[in-house]
Amino acid sequence: MTVPSVPTRGRTLDYAAPVYDLLEPLCLLNRQDEFDRTVLQALDPQPGDKILDLGCGTGVQCRKISQFLDPGQGGCITGIDAAGRMIAAARAKRATPHCRFEAMAAEDLHFPDAAFDAVISSLFYHHVPLDLKRRSLEEAFRVLKPGGRLIVADMHTPTTFIGALVSHLSRWLFLQPQIAENIRGVLPELMSESGFLPPRIVARYFGYIAVFSTTRPL
Ligand SMILES: C[S@@+](CC[C@H](N)C(=O)[O-])C[C@H]1O[C@@H](n2cnc3c(N)ncnc32)[C@H](O)[C@@H]1O
């Protein structure tokens, strides 16, 4: 079924939706399962958790996380993406009663305050400009319960020569200034400015992706 996209200044991936499940493992050098496991470990989902995934794409991680949730205890995960075709693909392939998908912009979440125990986001923040990075982190803070966890896996200041090469090349190849902001290392600062506790880096991939973990203070 067709799902309308949501207007945003983020770089949405409507055009890539039909092939995204084939492309992503290649982009992650065939280490997608390991990468997803790292995010899962950092998230540490509890059976009754209500979880939100920002920029969920075709919902691969949502579905993996949903296996650790117990709908009987209220556990559920909602993936949002501004690209209607991503949401249509996610619904067709991965939706269950406790794994849902909605077309929504991460900078304008249609959820009440303190609705979630945890928010995750993987490879989303290098798709949006600085003001939307900030706005969506403020939105993540708003919809999290006090003590709620935020896990962000995304491009960050490279730590290896190959990492620097890949991130600078992709910035120029994809004409994506949003990547340059990530390379400058803006994410942890924006998280702190949005009210989160100072984030920790719990894992690194390929010399240019960092997995951040932080919480909304009690
Ligand atoms: C590289 S994909 C990551 C997908 C998935 N999280 C993963 O790890 O495979 C980035 C996603 O962010 C979405 N996106 C871009 N701007 C957005 C926005 N402002 N709000 C919500 N999603 C957005 C794109 O449509 C795309 O599906």
Domain ranges of the chain: 14-215
Residue pair 182/190 in contact by the 8 Å Cβ criterion: no
Give, in order, the Cα–Cα distances in Å from 208 to each of 25, 158, 182, 183, 216: 16, 4, 10, 8, 26
Pocket of ligand 1 (CB under 6 A): 8, 10-13, 24, 55-57, 60-61, 81-83, 86, 105-107, 122-124, 127-128, 132
Q: State pLDDT tens for residues 111-163.
A: 999 999 999 999 999 999 999 999 999 999 999 999 999 999 999 999 999 99
Return the structure tokens found at 91: 């619904």
Residue 6 has pLDDT above 90, yes or no: yes
Residue 177 has pLDDT above 80, yes or no: yes
Q: State pLDDT tens for residues 67-91.
A: 999 999 999 999 999 999 999 999 9
Expressed in angstroms and rounded, the spacing between residue 139 Cα and the centre of ligand 1 is: 16
Q: Kindly report the protein residue whose alpha carbon is nearest to atom 12 of ligand 1.
A: 55
Which sign, positive or negative, has the C-alpha torsion 62, 163, 194, 174? negative
Give the pLDDT score at 49. Answer: 98
Expressed in angstroms and rounded, the spacing between residue 12 Cα and the centre of ligand 1 is: 6
Give the pLDDT score at 191. Answer: 98
What one-letter code names the amino acid at 54? L
Domain 14-215 CATH assignment equals 3.40.30.120: no
Q: Kindly report the protein residue whose alpha carbon is nearest to atom 13 of ligand 1.
A: 55
Expressed in angstroms and rounded, the spacing between residue 218 Cα and the centre of ligand 1 is: 29
Probe residue for ligand 1, chosen from 8, 12, 134 as the CB with the greatest number of ligand atoms within 8 Å: 12
Probe residue for ligand 1, chosen from 13, 120, 205 as the CB with the greatest number of ligand atoms within 8 Å: 13
- Average pLDDT on 103-108 reads 98
31: confidence class by pLDDT, cuts 50, 70, 90: confident
CA distance 83 to 8: 9
Find the farthest-apart pair of alpha carbons in the chain and give their distance in angstroms, rounded: 48
